[in-house]
Amino acid sequence: MLREINARDLVSGRGKGGKGLGKGGAKRHRKIVSSSLLLVLRDNIQGITKPAIRRLARRGGVKRISGLIYEETRGVLKIFLENIIRDSVTYTEHAKRKTVTSLD
């Protein structure tokens, strides 16, 4: 009874289970189907309030702020955060973890 031995079997000692993360595939990066969830996620950017943007501008040395700046700042912040979160999730997936840490 000879059996073919994989290098993975020799190294991990855990068989095909990996790190005990179950047998599910990639559950990330799925589209959200529910329209009510889309509404909630879309309105979250409004949680960055006008006074919060004003405080950030003050910290950056801005004296006077145009009214059009607030929506523009929200858009720029959203793109910035999407890039940071995408990179963090990539690091987390590569490490075969489900929890994003501060080092990611």
The Cα 86–Cα 96 span in angstroms is 15
Residue 41 CB partners (closer than 8 Å, separation 6+):
32
State the helix-helix crossing angle for 69-94 and 50-59, rounded to 10 degrees.
80
pLDDT at residue 35, as a whole number = 64
- Domain edges within the chain: 66-103
Residue 7 belongs to what H/E stretch?
helix 7-12
Could you give the angle at the alpha carbon of 38 between the alpha carbons of 78 and 80, nearest 5°?
Answer: 10
Mean pLDDT (whole number) for 36-64 = 87
Give residue 19's pLDDT band: very low, low, confident or very high (50, 70, 90).
low
* Rg of the chain, C-alpha, whole Å: 22
Q: Whole-model pTM?
A: 0.59
Model confidence over 76-92: pLDDT tens digits? 999 999 999 999 999 99
CATH code reported for the domain at 66-103: 1.10.20.10
**Arithmetic mean of pLDDT over the chain:** 80
